């Protein structure tokens, strides 16, 4: 008889032990573990997760909160509140649950939790100590804490900053420095006071940060306050501290491992990836999402990651259609500098994660300032010799790097989508009398011809109404930026085609838009694929809503 196959699925206890060391778990495996816990949530998994909080192990506490933040619902609120009111549970475990209770709208989430602590003052001090310990480990810890802090009401935020100044802990500096950038005047003033209160503990890092604030801020009151604090910190420090601090700030903390960027998508967005070697086997870094009309829109840290995992992440991005290129570090840094300028010009707030990594990025920029690299191909004047290449402009849309290029904003091209799709006669089942007589094929060919003519008519109308000089300047620039990436990849034939199409697109080229296949294909694809794009955006939204506009008017 064949042996019965043994079930190798891990138990809930085994899953929880594995999750206590979750930094090494792949995202897909993590999803599988969470799904398994969710299936057995009311069959004992929830109680075992809560039992992790009874351990004297910060990793177990962190794992419990991670699971609860993903799986706990309002149905679990009463159980969690009973756990908090249990006198046998440690104060630290109760405080650890505060973010989860807040998400579940529990009355115990804030001040209500304090009355159930066995020793509130000692518990708070212990929690603050753990917070600073988390901050001292990595930039990701700083980011997690600051995101929580920035969600607080202003008065609580100011109280937290004041506590950092009174903590006399050098790790508090990691939280205070990012608060000097892109925050309200009251928060920045409080952060300056807290740095001054830390005194010599903060001086080596505070001096370069305050100098940066003086050189970039236009707020006269802040600059006066920062200048006064900088003077007092310098006087308190030992001679030579200021010069040494500025010299140290100009040197990167870690050696740069790799710089990569994604292609530019249809909205002008691009991902910049920078990794620094943290040890022989690990890297850490940031991913920035930049948009050429906004600047830096998002930024998030990558904590200590094995080199193999980093390389696998890069490959997976390419496999999923997010082509990315290895580029010189100076190119990445130039892109970041341009994006920051856009943020300031448009008064768009920089993400807090960028403020955490800004000192390291500034140091890298100083190291590479003698290596200027253009962020786009040089503009080329249009000449008749370029016309054969310009006539191949529609071929760009066969490349995956241009697959997402469609007309923006969507609402402007929507009426043209409706005009085109309103002319479509969808195929019908042929009658029995017409089968086998060739009528179906002729009708199909006639319908295809009619659709093509209808599309050409709508494209002609869109050319007149949608494409202006501003659009041409914007996409000419985007083409040249995309071409620079192809140049780094050594794809010279593609570079020549992109350069020619960009030259023709420039308003000064004199070549009519009707004679530019790139623009015609751009509009044609946007009109034909528009309804599917709208459908995808609707499905991606939180709630299923009807498609905007009347794309299929009655005939």
Helix 352-367 / helix 241-249 crossing angle, nearest 10 deg: 90
Q: What is the pLDDT of residues 424-465, one digit of tens each?
A: 655 554 555 555 555 555 555 665 666 788 888 889 999 999
Alpha-carbon distance of 159 to 136, in angstroms, equals: 21
Cis peptide, bond prior to residue 147, ω within 30 of zero: no
Tell me the backbone φ, ψ of residue 303, rounded to 5 degrees: -75, -175
- Does pLDDT of 143 surpass 70? yes
- Does pLDDT of 554 surpass 50? no
Q: Residue 441: its pLDDT value, please?
A: 59
Short-list 232, 227, 174, CA closest to 199? 232
Tell me the backbone φ, ψ of residue 429, rounded to 5 degrees: -70, 125
* Averaged pLDDT, 188-217: 91
Strand partners, 298: 289
Alpha-carbon distance of 238 to 257, in angstroms, equals: 35
Q: What is the pLDDT of residues 390-403, one digit of tens each?
A: 999 999 999 989 98
Q: What is the pLDDT of residues 27-41, one digit of tens each?
A: 778 888 889 999 999
Q: Residue 550: its pLDDT value, please?
A: 43
What's 317's DSSP letter? H
- Work out the number of other CB atoms within 10 angstroms of the CB of residue 105: 9
Gyration radius (Cα) of the chain, Å: 29
* Averaged pLDDT, 378-392: 94
Report the percent of the chain where pLDDT is more than 70: 85
End-to-end CA, the chain: 69
- Does pLDDT of 126 surpass 80? no
Alpha-carbon distance of 56 to 223, in angstroms, equals: 46
Tell me the backbone φ, ψ of residue 492, rounded to 5 degrees: -70, -35
Q: What is the pLDDT of residues 72-99, one digit of tens each?
A: 898 898 888 888 888 888 777 777 787 7
Q: Residue 539: its pLDDT value, please?
A: 58
Q: Residue 332: its pLDDT value, please?
A: 93
Task: Provide the mean pLDDT of the chain.
Answer: 83
Q: Residue 534: its pLDDT value, please?
A: 65
Of 94-103, 331-340, 412-421, which gets the smallest average pLDDT? 94-103
Q: Residue 440: its pLDDT value, please?
A: 57
pLDDT band at 22 (very low <50, low <70, confident <90, very high): low
* Averaged pLDDT, 506-524: 93
- Does pLDDT of 546 surpass 50? no
Alpha-carbon distance of 368 to 501, in angstroms, equals: 32
Tell me the backbone φ, ψ of residue 259, rounded to 5 degrees: -125, 130
Of 387 and 423, the one with more pLDDT: 387
Give the 3-state DSSP-derived string for 244-289, with helices as H, strands as E and coil as C.
HHHHHHCCCCCCEEEEEEECCCCCCEEEEEEEEECCCCEEEEEEEE
Contact 289, 300 (CB under 8 A): no
Alpha-carbon distance of 26 to 485, in angstroms, equals: 30
pLDDT band at 288 (very low <50, low <70, confident <90, very high): very high
Q: Residue 7: its pLDDT value, please?
A: 53
Residue 7, classified by CB atoms within 10 Å of its CB into exposed (0-12), middle (13-18) or buried (19+), is: exposed
Helix (H, G, I), strand (E, B) or coil at 210: helix
* Averaged pLDDT, 147-172: 86
| This model's pTM is above 0.95 | no
Q: What is the pLDDT of residues 227-247, one digit of tens each?
A: 999 998 888 777 777 788 888
Cis peptide, bond prior to residue 409, ω within 30 of zero: yes
- Does pLDDT of 376 surpass 90? yes
| Contacts with 105 (C-beta within 8 Å, 6 or more apart), sequence order | 74, 77
Alpha-carbon distance of 22 to 130, in angstroms, equals: 19
What one-character-per-residue DSSP string does 74-102 give? GGGHHHHHHHHH-TTS-HHHHHHTHHHHH
Q: What is the pLDDT of residues 290-326, one digit of tens each?
A: 999 999 999 988 887 888 888 888 888 777 767 788 8
- Does pLDDT of 3 surpass 50? no
pLDDT band at 545 (very low <50, low <70, confident <90, very high): very low
- Does pLDDT of 529 surpass 90? no
Q: Residue 443: its pLDDT value, please?
A: 56
Contact 481, 293 (CB under 8 A): no
Alpha-carbon distance of 489 to 327, in angstroms, equals: 8
- Does pLDDT of 341 surpass 90? yes
Q: Residue 238: its pLDDT value, please?
A: 77
Alpha-carbon distance of 513 to 423, in angstroms, equals: 25
- Does pLDDT of 526 surpass 60? yes
């Amino acid at each position: 008889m064949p042996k019965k196959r043994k079930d190798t699925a891990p138990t809930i206890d085994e899953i929880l032990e594995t999750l206590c060391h979750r930094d090494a778990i792949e995202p897909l495996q993590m999803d599988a573990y969470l799904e398994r816990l969710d299936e057995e949530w009311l069959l004992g998994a929830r109680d075992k997760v809560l039992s992790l909080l009874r351990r004297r192990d910060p990793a177990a506490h962190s794992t419990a909160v991670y699971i609860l933040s993903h799986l706990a619902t309002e149905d679990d609120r009463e159980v969690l509140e009973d756990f908090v009111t249990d006198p046998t549970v440690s104060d630290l475990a109760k405080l650890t649950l505060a973010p989860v209770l807040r998400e579940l709208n529990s009355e115990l989430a804030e001040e209500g939790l304090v009355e159930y602590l066995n020793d509130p003052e000692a518990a708070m001090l212990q929690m603050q100590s753990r917070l600073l310990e988390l901050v001292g480990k990595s930039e990701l810890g700083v980011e997690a804490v600051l995101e929580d802090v920035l969600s607080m009401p202003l008065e609580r935020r100011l109280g937290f900053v004041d506590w950092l100044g009174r903590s006399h802990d050098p790790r508090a500096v990691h939280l205070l420095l990012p608060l000097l950038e892109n925050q309200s005047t009251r928060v920045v003033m409080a952060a300056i006071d807290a740095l001054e209160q830390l005194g010599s503990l903060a001086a080596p890092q505070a001096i370069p940060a305050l100098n940066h604030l003086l050189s970039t801020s236009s707020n006269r009151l802040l600059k006066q306050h920062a200048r006064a604090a900088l003077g007092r910190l310098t006087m308190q420090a030992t001679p030579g501290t200021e010069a040494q601090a500025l010299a140290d700030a100009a040197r990167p903390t870690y050696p740069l491992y790799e710089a990569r960027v994604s292609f530019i998508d249809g909205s002008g967005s691009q991902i910049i990836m920078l990794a620094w070697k943290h040890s022989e086997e690990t890297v850490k870094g940031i991913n920035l999402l930049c948009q050429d009309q906004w600047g830096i829109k998002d930024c998030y840290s990558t904590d200590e990651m094995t080199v193999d995992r980093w390389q696998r992440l890069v490959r997976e991005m390419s496999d999923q259609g997010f082509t990315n290129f290895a580029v010189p570090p100076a190119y990445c840094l130039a892109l970041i500098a341009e994006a920051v300028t856009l943020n300031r010009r448009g008064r768009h707030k920089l993400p807090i994660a960028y403020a955490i990594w800004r000192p390291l990025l500034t140091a890298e920029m100083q190291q590479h300032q003698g290596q200027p690299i253009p962020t786009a191909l040089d503009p080329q004047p249009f000449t008749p010799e370029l016309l054969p290449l310009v006539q191949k402009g529609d071929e760009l849309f066969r490349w995956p790097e241009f697959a997402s290029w469609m007309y923006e904003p969507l609402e402007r091209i929507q009426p043209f989508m409706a005009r085109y799709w309103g002319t479509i006669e969808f195929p019908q089942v042929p009658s029995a009398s017409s089968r086998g007589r060739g009528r179906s094929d002729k009708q199909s060919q006639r319908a295809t011809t009619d659709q093509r003519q209808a599309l050409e008519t709508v494209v002609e109308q869109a050319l007149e109404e949608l494409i202006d000089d501003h659009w041409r300047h914007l996409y000419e620039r985007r083409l040249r930026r995309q071409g620079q990436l192809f140049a780094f990849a050594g794809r010279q034939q593609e570079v020549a085609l992109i350069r020619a199409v960009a030259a023709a697109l420039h308003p000064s080229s004199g070549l009519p838009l009707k004679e530019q296949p790139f623009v015609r294909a751009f509009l044609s694809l946007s009109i034909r694929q528009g309804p599917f794009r709208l459908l995808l955006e609707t499905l991606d939204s939180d709630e299923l809503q009807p498609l905007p506009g009347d794309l299929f008017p009655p005939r």
